Amino acid sequence: MSGLSIQGLIRRVDLFTLKLFLSVVEERQIGRAAIRENIAASAATKRIQDLEDVAGIRLFDRNPKGVVTSQAGEVLARHVRVMFASLDEIRRDIGELIDGVSGHVGIGATGSIIIQYLAREIAEFTRDFPMVQVELHEDVNAKVMRAVASGDIDVGVFVATANLANEAIDSVEYRTDDLVAVVPLGHPLSERASVTLVDLMQEDIIGIAPNTTLMTELHKAAALAGRELHPKYNVNSVEAARSLVQEGLGVTIQPECMLSLEDYERLSTVALAEPWAHRSIHIGTQRGKALSSATTALIKQLTERPQPLGSDESHLTTDARTQQDNLSRSV
């Protein structure tokens, strides 16, 4: 026998014959494979014989109970399975181009998460899936989780905290970030390797909106330390808080990745030696709810993207931060 001819295979063997061949491999009997593929047994036998002629080698050993795949048949079956898997991927990819992923996705998240991550991520998603309508709701952490649990929104992105555990939500980790102390340049605390909340409470604290996850956690941490947190100044945004720190009016606590290169030039940051300073941000959906193709596509895009540059920069020098900031702006 001369061996397998690629040209002969292309010209003389169709996809149905290859599919029938796989059915014979799995059924171990041509008759059962013929029934499975809705073809007459005699026609199935003829196709298998023709395939062996084209391959130039015996693909099956016959016995009274049926057929047993030969070594050559096993090799061919392995490659044919890979080929059909590729064809199925082609079908799915072309189907997405023809039909497109469409629909509506309701997303809920806190303002800081939107600023840190989602604004950019949603912009990229809407470019990739222009037929999906995205509706974004900003709210505090607890309300985002309640909206997910009740089904009012499709996807929630929130800071996972022990006191907000919810059995009605399926969630997966999306990002991690670290809270840091933000102090004026030259401040005595800026020389420290790390500080605690109690250390910071000796200074004038600049707080943000009291119903935010951050402020809720700070009040709870202060209470556990036997203290009561009384911010000297209260503002509505982290940007406003940083501007007060820059003017020497106090210190504040913020997610490290929200500080820009310009902030590092005007302010100092100090690591927080607190267990709650390392935060896990999760993507959540209502438990047991079937996800739409649009929701599935969004979650897939969010979870498959790498951690953004600058999400863990506390160890970087100023030159390294400059390099990462330039890279971030070029992406």
pLDDT at 316 (0 to 100): 36
Tell me the three state secondary structure of residue 187. coil
pLDDT score of 99: 58
Which is it for strands 103-109 and 194-195: parallel, antiparallel or unpaired?
unpaired
pLDDT of residue 56: 84
> What fold is seen in the domain 6-98?
Arc Repressor Mutant, subunit A (1.10.10)
8-to-15, 78, 195 alpha-carbon distances in Å = 14, 19, 75
Please name the residue that has the structure tokens 């048949």. Answer: 73
Angle value at C-alpha 136, between 242 and 97, nearest 5 degrees: 125
Q: Measuring CA to CA, which residue among 315, 313, 310, 314 is closest to residue 326? A: 310
Residue extents of the structural domains in the chain: 6-98, 103-325
Structure token digits, residue 208: 């943000």
Q: Cα(first)–Cα(last) distance of the chain, in Å? A: 57
Q: How confident is the model at residue 13, as a pLDDT?
A: 85
What is residue 223's predicted lDDT score, i.e. its pLDDT? 92
Which pLDDT belongs to residue 95? 62
236 within 8 A of 209, measured Cβ to Cβ: yes
C-beta neighbour count of 284 within 10 angstroms: 25
pLDDT tens for each residue of 292-321: 889 999 999 898 865 544 444 333 333 333
Sorted by sequence, the CB contacts under 8 Å of residue 325 that are 6+ apart come out as: 260, 261, 310
| Cα gap 255→159, rounded to integer Å | 12
Mean pLDDT by 10 residues, the chain (331 residues): 60 88 92 86 91 88 89 92 85 64 90 87 89 92 90 92 76 90 94 94 91 84 91 91 95 87 89 91 91 91 64 37 34 27
Q: What's this model's pTM, rounded to 2 decimal places?
A: 0.57
Compute the half-sphere exposure of residue 64: CA atoms within 13 Å on the CB side of its CA.
Answer: 0
Question: Does domain 103-325 match CATH 1.10.357.10?
Answer: no
Strand, coil or helix: 161: coil
